[in-house]
Chain A
């Protein structure tokens, strides 16, 4: 036994301070996501005590000295925001979310305070319809080059020829399996759900997110991921209710459970799959052969953004390929920008988690706008969760 007792310790003092600083800089792992509020208190207290909270530096007048961004957990290289602050004097406050519904809810309620946010492809048309976003002023984004973007992933940011949002990265929704605990090779959503009720009993997680949890249950029967048909949704509900008692958790915060070994299998997004596999090689990422979701996350600026100049400045900064490449290395999701792909190392471009084989990609579907606002799917999810 060469293991030091320290290996089993929850966290070393040095590591704690590192993590804290990382959180402060705005890099939030999905594992940290729910803890954010709690640790935020620790940060605030400690900052006051030992002065790690930076005093707002003298900043370029037109940009102000702070702005907020709403994004997903573990989605940015923390250094990006540090560097942006160094260059512009604008401190970036990062808010992380677990579902597009939650982001929409905050924006609908008004006064979100965000100057930039990261909606997923299928929500953009709804944001436009509700007047929550406006066309982007492309003159303020010289770093963006539409000709270099992969059109497969970027079309939903443009509505009637007007650009409302520009892409950040794309990805897929599959599942992660701890192959030490569940050795049987799996290739389909059918196997995912069946295993959840057998060998994976009490050890399987599904998202707390109607789009993917209902969508992947629909795939069990080969229906469309986006189905709104009553009879198909009824079948999916039947499956979900049958699986429910066997689940470990209904949560989009699945990295802690997988890392601690409590959960052996979970629905999973590309970037989390890449991170889990990188740190724990026995965790594999699988795309269901029946299909499932493919997605693109975009950047957009809310109409009521309190600091639009800073929002544009940060967005333009993020569109710089030199900056974006670091973002992709940190979050693990593939880029839509050919200029960025040229800068990525070969082992990243060869990673099958990021770039699945064509036959696995073909059946995948982009989420449909109607699922976001459909009361039927929302109620189905509520019945599943309360069962």
Chain B
């Protein structure tokens, strides 16, 4: 009898426990279903449809849209180049900043400096990019150059301007994860490395950099995923001359109104992003996880 009662109450506990878990998960689940799963299903359905004669969607079942993907091969290719190159440029600028913040900056300044990194995020990226349009445009730096006698310099609508905008726009996303991983670094490892005769450079390469790799990989994949869908910065700072997959999507939905083809590209882009994430994760785990060093 007593055993039976115990089982019942255990069941009751488990039920209560499960019920509570479900209740706590409900808001997030509803959110994901309404704003992620349902739109995704809609896009998947659109992607096997046809463009109506005047644009929009017309029900059908065809893989023609996917077969047509090569028509946007250039846009895909441009994106595949931009994403890693942009993320790499971001990394090269972000790492020294994160290093300084985590290991060099005086303790009392650290919080203020971190805040300075984050504060620009409070302003819309669009506005900040517009500021760059002005700075790089004819009334900005070129006007200053003309003042000292260098005429007709053009900075806006160049690949350099796009790269600058991307590094500027995504820098905080790269700095923060690297900062976190560097900040947690056990400094005794650095001392140990020095004690064992390593030069500062080999200590940096062999210890600091290696141990911060998870942060680097997190920042890198974060920025890269966002760059895969980037369209604002190339449009504003590149003059709409360079065409990324994000630009292709905007045009397909807002100009030629080819929803099915746009949906097929969107699905493909999501799949590519997932693959990129998985690969980045694998690399990150292999590089960082396999060589985990703990003092204890």
Contacts and interface: CB of A to CB of B under 8 A. Distances in A.
B71 A379 contact: yes
A163 interface: no
A57 B258 CA distance: 42
Interface in A50-83: none
Interface residues of B, number: 39
B269 interface: no
A105 B255 contact: yes
A250 B130 CA distance: 17
B247 to A, nearest CB: 7
Nearest to A382: B251
Contact of B56 (A10, A108, A257, A378): A108
A10 B139 contact: yes
Contact of B239 (A39, A101, A249, A379): A249
A385 B239 CA distance: 11
B55 A386 contact: no
Interface in B217-247: 236, 239-241, 243, 247
B126 A250 contact: no
Given A126-B54, A260-B138, A387-B74, A248 B251 contact: no
Nearest to A252: B240
Given A38-B124, A262-B157, A373-B53, A386 B255 contact: no
Contact of B137 (A37, A104, A260): A260
A104 B74 contact: no
Given A38-B130, A210-B255, A262-B137, A375 B74 contact: no
Contacts of B56: 108
Contacts of B164: none
B154 interface: yes
B54 A382 contact: no
A202 interface: yes
A41 interface: yes
A129 interface: yes
Contact of B247 (A105, A248, A385): A385
B239 A8 contact: no
Nearest to B134: A10
Interface string B41-57: 00000000001011110
Interface in A345-381: 373, 375, 378-379, 381
Q: Is the interface of A mostly helix, strand, loop or mixed?
A: helix
A108 B156 CA distance: 35
From A42, A210, A262, residue with most partner B Cβ within 10 Å:
A262
Given A8-B139, A10-B134, A126-B54, A386 B74 contact: yes
A41 B156 contact: no
A261 B154 CA distance: 10
Contacts of B257: 101, 104-105, 108
Interface in B55-103: 55-56, 71-72, 74-75, 78
B55 A373 contact: yes
A39 to B, nearest CB: 8
B156 A386 contact: no
A341 interface: no
Given A10-B134, A99-B255, A130 B74 contact: no
B240 A102 contact: no
Contacts of A35: 130
B29 interface: no
B24 interface: no
B256 interface: yes
B78 A386 contact: yes
14 contacts: A10-B134, A104-B55, A108-B54, A126-B54, A203-B154, A248-B157, A257-B156, A260-B138, A373-B53, A373-B55, A379-B71, A381-B255, A383-B71, A385-B251
Those 10 A-B pairs whose CB atoms lie nearest each other, nearest first: A249-B239, A378-B256, A260-B138, A386-B243, A38-B127, A261-B138, A386-B74, A262-B138, A250-B240, A38-B126
Given A256-B133, A375-B258, A385-B241, 14 more contacts: A101-B255, A105-B255, A108-B257, A129-B54, A244-B241, A249-B157, A250-B239, A250-B240, A251-B240, A260-B138, A382-B252, A385-B240, A386-B72, A387-B74
